[in-house]
Amino acid sequence: MTGETDLAVLLRSMQPDLRGKDWGFAVAHAVPEGILPFATVAEDEGLTLVAPMAALQSAGLAPEGPMARISLTVHSSLQAVGLTAAFATALGQAGISANVIAGFHHDHIFVAAADADRAMTVLRALSNA
């Protein structure tokens, strides 16, 4: 097992990093040529692509967004308990919708671009609590 599992350590060291406010979510049958998605999710209804809005639009897709991507820089274990619940609760209490994608090393939170600065404030406060 790699990564941190202690919730107190995870919260204290999560260091949210805003990585752009131009992300979109779109559905396709396959990844269009020229798009390097940040993430893909295979669902029964199609392939969800998470990529820059402009790239999705250029490929003729109709993305939802723009979304801001906030990456938590702490290396959280896939076995960690409570991190997602903690930040989702804090963001929810602030009225901010969060869409989460967990990678092997980090959690990535997508919020409406208009909510990015407030989300960063909420996440920093949670980390400093």
pLDDT in tens, 38-96: 999 999 999 999 999 999 999 999 999 999 999 999 999 999 999 999 999 999 999 99
Q: Where are the domains of the chain?
A: 7-128
What is the reported pLDDT for 1?
61
Express as a percent the part of the chain with pLDDT over 90.
Answer: 93
Give the per-residue SS3 of the chain.
Answer: CCCECCHHHHHHCCCEEECCCCEEEEEECCCCCCCCCCEEEEECCEEEEEEEHHHHHHCCCCCEEEEEEEEECCCECCCCCCHHHHHHHHHHHCCCCCEEEECCCCEEEEEEHHHHHHHHHHHHHHHHC
Q: What is the mean pLDDT of residues 8-36?
A: 96
For the 7-128 domain, the top CATH level (class) is alpha beta
